[in-house]
Amino acid sequence: MQPSSVASSYEFNTVASLINQPNGAAKIAELCSQLGISRPLVVTDKGLMATGLIERFTRPLHTAGFPICVFDDVVADPPVDVVEQAVQRAQMHHIDGVIGVGGGSSLDVAKLIAVVCGTEMALKDIIGVDKVIGKRLPLILAPTTAGTGSEATPIAIVTTGSTTKAGIVARQLYADIALLDASLTEGLPAAITAATGIDAMVHAIEAFTSAIHKNPYSDMLAHNALRLLSRNIVAATQHGENTLARQAMLLGAFQAGQAFANAPVGAVHALAYPLGGRFHIPHGLSNALVLIEVMRFNLESCAPLYAELAASFDLNTARKTPREIAECVIDTIDNLIQSLPLTRRLSALGVSENDLAMLADDAMLQTRLLVNNPRSVNFDDALAIYKKVL
């Protein structure tokens, strides 16, 4: 089989430092000192506060004599005013560094606090691509879901209206340290483990087929991420306390994040976002719902690339054409999703046939993502995909 064509010139950026260590949270005070943080702000949500996990950070900080401020008002798909409240709190307490602990929502808010407090720019002025001028505050990100890869990306997503989201993309959003500590994910409920894990797999798949910025570094990371995620997602979902599986999921999600930070995602995400915006279906589940049908649609344009992914799933490819191997890859992912506790039909989540045109219209607005898809997607294509998963 021919290797996929890759850009001969490319740029690859990522976070400065990765700490991959179960119970790594115990060294948070040392990490703050390394970064020159003396007044840290811990950013999280109420759900995580209720688990007691935040004490893994606050206790060692307290013991080491750091004054601690916690902002725990992050909500899923954080709206702009939550970020603004967090910034006010941070400024009131004169914080000089930010520790984000949680899923993508908490990590995204942590990134934005560090940028807004460090640069003194207004949030509204940094929405978009490369709008940030100046330096952010020191930033440590510790994911508690193995999904979004936010700890590895220069992206933060905020909700700007009742159904609209906007992205802030800038180099300053890369953290100083990504801390992958499996002990933080051991209590993550099975359904969230499964959905966020599929989100991470989608990042790897879409980075590998990214139409514009596909590059050899992202490819290598996407392959490795898919291997780690596909081999561990069932164990992590069924046996949450399995530290090895949890750590592998965190590393896989991180590597998928590194990959798509440089080779951006496409139509799976473009069709998933309207499901989150209109029906509040969680991001990972939205991706899981449309993934297989988008892959089947893309087959016509990228069967050889999907076929290359067979290596990450250890599939037997002997005496098969690239198209047959690609179909085998899609069936393997489909079977994997079927084995997880995930809803497979939009109708089970309150979506009706009458809603599909609105969803397809919204998907068409995701031009930033659709340009990365290996096959161009029009309104009728999007509508047909939604119909298949109704």
Residues that bind Fe ion (CB under 5 A): 199
- The span from the CA of 115 to the CA of 108, in Å, is 11
Q: Which residue among 138, 147, 264, 274 contacts ligand NAD (CB under 6 A)?
A: 147
Contact yes or no for 89/40 (Cβ under 8 A): no
Q: Phi and psi (nearest 5°) for 79?
A: -80, 160
Q: CB under 6 A: which stretch of 9-17, 47-55, 216-224, 365-373 binds ligand NAD?
A: 47-55
Please tell me whether residue 76 binds ligand NAD under the rule CB under 6 A. yes
Closest to ligand NAD by CB, 188 or 336:
188
**What three-state secondary structure class fits 90?**
helix
Neighbours of 96 (CB within 10 A): 18
Do the strands 155-159 and 165-169 form a parallel or antiparallel pair, or are they unpaired? antiparallel
Q: Which of residues 168-207 bind ligand NAD (CB under 6 A)?
A: 184-185, 187-188, 192, 196
- The span from the CA of 97 to the CA of 36, in Å, is 8
Neighbours of 111 (CB within 10 A): 29
Q: CB under 6 A: which stretch of 7-15, 145-153, 219-227, 335-343 binds ligand NAD?
A: 145-153
Establish how many alpha carbons lie within 13 A of residue 283's alpha carbon, considering only the half-sphere containing its beta carbon. 24
Q: Which residue among 197, 266, 277, 284 contacts ligand NAD (CB under 6 A)?
A: 284
Establish how many alpha carbons lie within 13 A of residue 109's alpha carbon, considering only the half-sphere containing its beta carbon. 33
State the minimum distance, in angstroms, from the CB of residue 104 to ligand NAD.
2
State the minimum distance, in angstroms, from the CB of residue 186 to ligand NAD.
7
Contact yes or no for 203/259 (Cβ under 8 A): yes
Contact yes or no for 207/265 (Cβ under 8 A): yes
Q: Which of residues 77-136 bind ligand NAD (CB under 6 A)?
A: 77, 102-106, 108
Contact yes or no for 239/232 (Cβ under 8 A): no
Neighbours of 164 (CB within 10 A): 12
Residues binding ligand NAD: number (CB under 6 A): 30
Q: Which residue among 150, 209, 210, 372 contacts ligand NAD (CB under 6 A)?
A: 150
Cα dihedral sign, 143-51-277-132: negative
- Show the binding pattern over residues 334-373: x = contacts ligand NAD (CB under 6 A), - = does not: ----------------------------------------
State the minimum distance, in angstroms, from the CB of residue 91 to Fe ion.
31
Cross-strand pairs, 45: 74
Cross-strand pairs, 41: 69, 98
Please tell me whether residue 142 binds ligand NAD under the rule CB under 6 A. no
Closest to ligand NAD by CB, 184 or 325:
184
Closest to ligand NAD by CB, 152 or 310:
152
Closest to ligand NAD by CB, 169 or 305:
169
Q: CB under 6 A: which stretch of 40-48, 81-89, 115-123, 220-228 binds ligand NAD?
A: 40-48
The residues that touch ligand NAD, with contacts defined as CB under 6 A, are 45, 47-48, 51, 76-77, 102-106, 108, 144-145, 147-150, 153, 155-157, 184-185, 187-188, 192, 196, 283-284
